[in-house]
Amino acid sequence: MPALNPAKTYRPQCAWIRSQIGDEKSFGLAYPTRSAVVEARAMYGGVQLGFGAFLLYGAMRPAARVHTLVATLLVVGGLASCRAIGLALAGPDDYNVAAVLYETTTTLLFAVALAREQRADAALGA
């Protein structure tokens, strides 16, 4: 089996996504300054990569699994709740409505996973 080349698989996906959503200005998320671009890269690149590494660590270490699920509930649930408040104050837009639905669904799925993990621990007497 040939090795997976991320550049060959990731770039076409990004191009397809960009073709579907168009220019970032069309949905109100333009980054007009270099500072804004750096901030977006840090928050939506660096934080996401770091948190993804933490999730991978939690998935590989059973002893850390509950803590990982709780952290995810707090982080993603915080995003969902604050985004919902923002939508209530500023009014809805397509991007943020989709994001709050995704974040809420993710939070609920992690809540179910946490409940299952806790039940499994209780059944084992841990």
**Per-residue pLDDT reduced to its tens digit, 88-101:** 999 999 889 999 99
Residues 110 and 98 in one domain: yes
pLDDT digits (tens, 9 = 90+) for 28-82: 667 678 888 888 888 888 888 999 999 999 989 989 999 999 999 999 999 999 9
Domain, as residue range, for 115: 62-126
Q: Supply angle C-alpha 62, 42, 64, rounded to 5.
A: 10
Residues 44 and 87 in one domain: no
Q: Once rounded to an integer, what is the mean pLDDT over residues 102-109?
A: 95
Output the pLDDT for position 34.
85
Residues 111 and 51 in one domain: no
Contact present, 27 and 97 (Cβ < 8 Å): no
Residues 50 and 82 in one domain: no
Residues 83 and 117 in one domain: yes
Residues 43 and 78 in one domain: no
What pTM was estimated for this model as a whole? 0.69
Residues 66 and 56 in one domain: no
The pLDDT mean for the chain works out to 81
Residue 72 lies in a domain: yes
Calpha distance 87→113 (Å, rounded):
28
Predicted confidence (pLDDT) at residue 6 exceeds the cutoff of 60: no
Residues 88 and 124 in one domain: yes
Q: How many domains does the chain have?
A: 2
Residue 73 lies in a domain: yes
Interacting residues of 77 by C-beta distance below 8 A, sequence separation 6+ = 103, 107
